[in-house]
């Protein structure tokens, strides 16, 4: 069976054989496999949840923290959402064979540039068991075999999900080896997987900076880094204050432990006097720890008899904590209910701050000034740039891709959510009639 315990090399060789068949598989067969996966997920939900509970219990004992526990946790609603995403991917257009460009050359040759699968895609990920199915569905639909390597934190969940995916895919007519899971979460398996140049065409890591650094040290296979998200919201001088407050609260509190959550709020000095007190009060009421610069702390604690000096640690009358921000805080991905807040003197200063501290993931401006919005869009170097919208929309499902394997912050081949088209490369098909070159 496709998820049996085998060596990394054996799994990758089997995936390579499967990939050759998958590249020629009809769309209807691939869609039938995805429908089978979705149905099996729903039918075997209790089995999945039992495996997930084993992981959760071990994670609680290891005290991994609330953010990671949230990433790890599955329930009936989340399993149903994973199944819906699989079905959404199934109804999307098949990218394989799509003509990107085509023309007849002056010499009479017909040239078409078409999308083709990459081949074998390895996905290395931490904590999130839903990635097991999201990645498998996207790879199969785009004609790729997939080798999964999850973290030890989600061992039981990943094993159950990968088994279900593999069984459903093979039952629908896809080849053995199209979905496989590398057992174990040690660095040895990661290093071996990252050096399978003869069988693996691409590795996509989805996790923290430590995973990225570990791969950078050993990988000989091409890598697309689905990297961390130090995302910013900037409230410009003309921002609608109600919009700004709602966007910041959503970007920070809707799900703090994800890569598209906001980690920094920048506020133009012209609206800081009004916006800082209200947004800090709303954030702290929602349980968010605010780390502010001197101007933020002064404005947030003005008139509060229980507050300390701006440069020290203070407490709002609501009982929530305020702390002074450090230089290191600006570059930190908290993945927790913590946010850095600063007051800036201009749009240009905000753009410069993002350039200095951002990770190239998702950045947002709140403004009613069209020129300011355009300057932010052009001046900020990130995969996704928002105007008057939350950074939480950076997601393959929200972008109509059904799901995603991760969000690339690189600039080559794929940038932003990695969906079906990003899992393809291209080839030129050239047709002649006895043509020879003079």
- Looking at residue 183, its pLDDT comes to 80
| Residue-range domain boundaries for the chain | 8-226+405-431, 231-393
Give phi and psi for 217, each to the nearest 5: -75, -20
How much is the pLDDT for 306?
43
- pTM across the whole model: 0.86
Place of tokens 């496989």: 180
Mean pLDDT of 271-276: 97
The three-class DSSP label of residue 333 is coil
Is the pLDDT at 65 greater than 90? The verdict is no
| C-alpha span between 24 and 37 (Å, rounded) | 20
Number of H helices, E strands in the chain: 14, 17
For residue 2, the model assigns a pLDDT of: 44
pLDDT tens for residues 85-141? 999 999 999 999 999 999 999 999 999 999 999 999 999 998 889 999 999 999 999
How far apart, in whole angstroms, are the C-alpha atoms of residue 348 and residue 319? Answer: 35
Cα–Cα–Cα angle for 263, 155, 335, nearest 5°?
Answer: 5
354, 357, 363, 366: CA torsion to nearest 10: -50
Residue 229 CB neighbours (<10 A):
26
pLDDT for 308: 43
* Biggest distance spanned by C-alpha atoms of the chain: 89
- Whether 314 shows a pLDDT value over 70: the answer reads no
Q: How far apart are CA 352 and CA 356, in angstroms?
A: 6
210 pLDDT higher than 90: no
Cβ-Cβ contacts under 8 Å for 269 (sequence gap 6 or more): 295, 343, 344, 345
pLDDT, tens digit, 9 for 90 and up, residues 325-372: 999 999 999 989 999 999 999 999 999 999 999 999 999 999 999 999
Average pLDDT over residues 63-74: 88
231-393 CATH fold: Aldehyde Dehydrogenase; Chain A, domain 2 (3.40.309)
pLDDT at 406: 85
pLDDT-derived band of residue 3, with 50, 70 and 90 as boundaries? very low
Among the residues of 302-358, which ranges form H helices? 347-357
Q: Of 160 and 210, which is predicted with more confidence?
A: 160
Per CATH, the number for 8-226+405-431 is 3.40.605.10
């Amino acid at each position: 069976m496709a998820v049996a315990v085998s060596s990394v090399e054996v799994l990758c060789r089997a995936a390579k054989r499967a990939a050759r068949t998958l590249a020629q598989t009809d769309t209807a067969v691939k869609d039938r496999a995805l429908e089978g996966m979705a149905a099996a997920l729903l039918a075997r939900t209790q089995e999945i949840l039992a495996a997930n509970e084993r992981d959760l219990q071990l994670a609680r004992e290891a005290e991994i923290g609330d953010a990671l526990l949230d990433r790890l946790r599955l329930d009936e609603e989340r399993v149903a959402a994973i199944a819906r995403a699989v079905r959404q991917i199934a109804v999307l257009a098949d990218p394989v064979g799509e003509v990107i460009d085509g023309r007849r050359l002056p010499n009479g040759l017909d040239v078409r540039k078409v999308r083709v699968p990459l081949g074998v895609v390895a996905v290395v990920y931490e904590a999130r068991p839903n990635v097991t199915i999201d990645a498998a569905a996207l790879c199969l639909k785009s004609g790729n075999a997939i080798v999964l390597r999850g973290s030890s934190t989600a061992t039981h969940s990943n094993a159950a999900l990968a088994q279900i995916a593999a069984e459903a895919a093979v039952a629908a007519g896809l080849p053995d080896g199209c979905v496989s899971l590398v057992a174990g979460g040690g660095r040895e398996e990661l290093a071996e997987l990252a050096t399978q140049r003869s069988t693996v065409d691409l590795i996509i890591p989805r996790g923290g900076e430590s995973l990225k650094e570990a791969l950078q040290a050993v990988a000989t296979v091409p890598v697309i880094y689905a990297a961390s998200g130090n995302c910013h919201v900037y409230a410009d001088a003309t921002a609608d204050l109600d919009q700004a407050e709602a966007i910041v609260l959503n970007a920070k509190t809707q799900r703090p432990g994800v890569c598209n959550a906001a980690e920094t709020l920048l506020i133009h000095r012209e609206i800081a006097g009004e916006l800082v007190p209200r947004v800090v009060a709303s954030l702290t009421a929602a349980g968010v720890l605010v780390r502010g610069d001197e101007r933020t702390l002064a404005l947030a604690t003005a008139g509060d008899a229980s507050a300390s000096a701006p440069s020290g640690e203070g407490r709002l009358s609501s009982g929530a904590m305020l702390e002074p921000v450090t230089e290191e805080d600006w570059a930190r991905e908290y993945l927790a209910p913590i946010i850095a807040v600063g007051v800036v003197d201009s749009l240009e200063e905000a753009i410069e701050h993002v350039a200095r501290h951002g990770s190239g993931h998702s950045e947002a401006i709140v403004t009613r000034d069209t020129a300011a919005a355009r300057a932010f869009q052009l001046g900020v170097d990130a995969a996704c740039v928002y105007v008057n919208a939350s950074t939480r929309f950076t997601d393959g499902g929200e972008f109509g891709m059904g799901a995603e394997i991760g969000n690339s912050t690189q600039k080559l081949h794929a940038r932003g959510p990695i969906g079906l088209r990003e899992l393809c490369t291209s080839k030129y098909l050239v047709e002649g009639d006895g043509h020879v070159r003079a």
